[in-house]
Amino acid sequence: MKRKTITYLMFILLLAVGLVTSCTKVGPAGPAGKDGTNGTNGTDGTDGTAGCIKCHDNSQIILAKSLQWEASVHATGGNFERNTKDCAPCHTSQGFLERIKSGADTTLATIENPASQNCYTCHDIHQTYTPADWAITTKSPVQLWISGVTVDFGKGNLCANCHQPRIPTPQPVVGGDSVTITSPYWGAHHGPQAGILGGTGGYEIGTGYANSLHTTVVTNGCVTCHMAEAFGTQADGHQMGMTYLYHGHEKINTAGCVTCHPAGLDVLISATQTQVLDLLAQLKTLLVSHGAMSESGRIITGKMSADVAGALLNYNMIEADGSEGIHNAKYVTTLLKNSIQALSTK
């Protein structure tokens, strides 16, 4: 191509580009926009961290609660790899939040990247980015799986969702057929406390069932006793345990008890626990003699009458409860005495 032709073509190209750019010329400025609305976190819409620093301040409150929580079995237990649909609602934080939203007994799927129970499980952390986020994630009364009975422990309902008996399969029915137990792990699982405190879920053979006053007078149930003023990071507060070691022996932290029991508590505790442990030992002897339990306390699988299976259920529930009668002395002693009577006469 000739030089002259190239120059000519370039001239046309420049003309075309000029025409296009002149079409996108900027017009006169429009009217000013409206001011933005205030964010929920700041107070005046100018300081985005005003909400944050109401919690993330130098009060050390998050640190103190975190230290207690880190010493709790919720942080140290390590069983949150139990993340499949059946287990995740209680063993993972995400599964719990899914369940209290959906109302279902299981999660839809296995929870990936499971987290243990933590601040976000029990508080609405980082929802509005204001101190209102300290609200607990649920306070609704809980209909217990095992019996369908609804319990109401105020703030303790949060705990009752997870610390409730699971439905044993098969489930023995008073006066019903014999059952075949196929697993040595059969029972109502490890955390039946809401059933025990509520006085429901045991194998209620015989008569005379009643509840200890703890069922109704302790307004916030679990929280009143287990989350009273923290004893360092050893008990209560966000550590949530009731006992600590004192000069080598286990001591119950009574911070949450003293308003109702200003005196005489030690005697009351030891009388209650001694009686319950004694009844448990008697029932174990009978379960062993019926071939349902080994000397080491392990279930011997096989076919058994509803009463033997029911007594086994009661034994395991009361043992797993961990309070040795303190949660609901009347209910627990009646379950044990009636189970003992049923097995003695067989």
Q: Which of residues 164-203 bind ligand HEC (CB under 6 A)?
A: 164, 166, 189-191, 193-194, 197
Of 26 and 281, which has the nearer Cβ to ligand HEC?
281
Interacting residue with ligand HEC among 83, 107, 117, 314 (CB under 6 A): 117
Q: By the 8 A CB rule, do 106 and 112 touch?
A: no
Interacting residue with ligand HEC among 172, 187, 241, 310 (CB under 6 A): 241
Q: Encoding tokens for residue 265?
A: 């508590």
Q: Based on the shown chain and the rule CB under 6 A, indicate whether residue 158 belongs to the binding site for ligand HEC.
A: yes
Q: Encoding tokens for residue 182?
A: 């196929």
Q: Based on the shown chain and the rule CB under 6 A, indicate whether residue 100 belongs to the binding site for ligand HEC.
A: no
Half-sphere exposure (Cβ direction) of 97: Cα atoms closer than 13 Å: 18
Interacting residue with ligand HEC among 8, 110, 131, 143 (CB under 6 A): 131
Q: Encoding tokens for residue 189?
A: 């699982």
Burial environment of residue 15 by CB neighbours within 10 A (0 to 12, 13 to 18, 19 or more): exposed
Interacting residue with ligand HEC among 107, 111, 147, 163 (CB under 6 A): 163
Q: How far is the CB of 38 from ligand HEC (least distance, A)?
A: 14
What sign for the dihedral angle of Cα 205, 208, 210, 212? negative
Q: How far is the CB of 201 from ligand HEC (least distance, A)?
A: 12
Q: Encoding tokens for residue 345?
A: 């006469």
With CB under 6 A as the rule, give the number of residues binding ligand HEC: 88
Q: How far is the CB of 29 from ligand HEC (least distance, A)?
A: 34
Torsion of CA 281, 285, 288, 294, to 10 degrees: 40
Q: By the 8 A CB rule, do 66 and 56 touch?
A: no
Tell me how far apart the alpha carbons of residues 201 and 108 are, in angstroms, rounded to a whole number: 26
Q: By the 8 A CB rule, do 234 and 227 touch?
A: no
Interacting positions 318-337 with ligand HEC (CB under 6 A): 322-324, 326-327, 329
Q: By the 8 A CB rule, do 114 and 80 touch?
A: yes
Of 89 and 201, which has the nearer Cβ to ligand HEC?
89
Residue with tokens 């609901």: 328
Q: Based on the shown chain and the rule CB under 6 A, indicate whether residue 115 belongs to the binding site for ligand HEC.
A: no
Interacting residue with ligand HEC among 6, 62, 109, 174 (CB under 6 A): 62
From 21-29, 149-157, 289-297, 332-340, give the range in contact with ligand HEC by CB under 6 A. Answer: 149-157
Q: What is the length of the chain?
A: 346
Q: Based on the shown chain and the rule CB under 6 A, indicate whether residue 240 belongs to the binding site for ligand HEC.
A: yes
Interacting residue with ligand HEC among 60, 174, 261, 278 (CB under 6 A): 261
Interacting positions 23-42 with ligand HEC (CB under 6 A): 41
